[in-house]
Amino acid sequence: MPGRSARQALHRFFAGLCEHVFECRLGVADTQLIDYLTDLLDAFVRCDQPQAVRRSSGQPALDVSSMMAEADRRVGLARREFHRQIGDFTLFWAGMYPESLRQVAGPVPMDVFVDYCQHGKRAYSIASEIEVETDQASSDLLRRLSDQYDLCAYGLREIRREWEGGGEDRSASGSLLLG
């Protein structure tokens, strides 16, 4: 299956980047967090996530305020999942493409960017408070994502720099080894 092997190769690529940036460059040796961020990158690049939060009408909620309103209408596992997805959405964009948020912001971009990140932190925090008995992200991990949101966003920016070829830490051959 060529499609499956390509997906696996992309996942391994992201895993290598995440491990390199978070463990070697940032000193973060939290394998659960690194695995979560690897899966986050994989899902967003494959476009699985961006329209995951939907209004009750079935239409996608594409701005954070609409997503938060929809999440607040939910209870239990659905509320947790909505808030987790909001955290993922904001973390991905704040980490990988913060310039796109600043372009939308208008005359006071930093205030909008900070507010955007605050929504992501809050969403992960709310999700962490709703316990579930499944294989989904643990409440402890969601709490760490909330508490370490800025570090994770910074790490994602560093990952982007690596894959765009601007990373500082290169092997002797001039490329990052991703096994």
**pTM strictly above 0.85:** no
Q: What is the pLDDT of residue 152?
A: 98
Residue numbers of the chain with a pLDDT score lower than 70:
1-3, 47-62, 102-111, 134-136, 166-179
Q: What tokens does 13 get?
A: 């690529």
Q: What is the pLDDT of residue 135?
A: 61
- Chain centroid to Cα 120, Å, comes to 10
The domain spans of the chain are: 2-163
CA distance 131 to 129: 6
CA distances from 43 to 7, 38, 111 (A): 10, 9, 28
To 5 degrees, how large is the angle CA 94–CA 125–CA 103?
Answer: 20
DSSP label of 21: I
CA distance 50 to 86: 10
Q: Show the beta-strand stretches assigned E in 68-136.
A: none
Q: What tokens does 171 get?
A: 């092997």
Q: What is the pLDDT of residue 150?
A: 97
Q: What tokens does 19 get?
A: 């491990």
Q: What is the pLDDT of residue 115?
A: 85
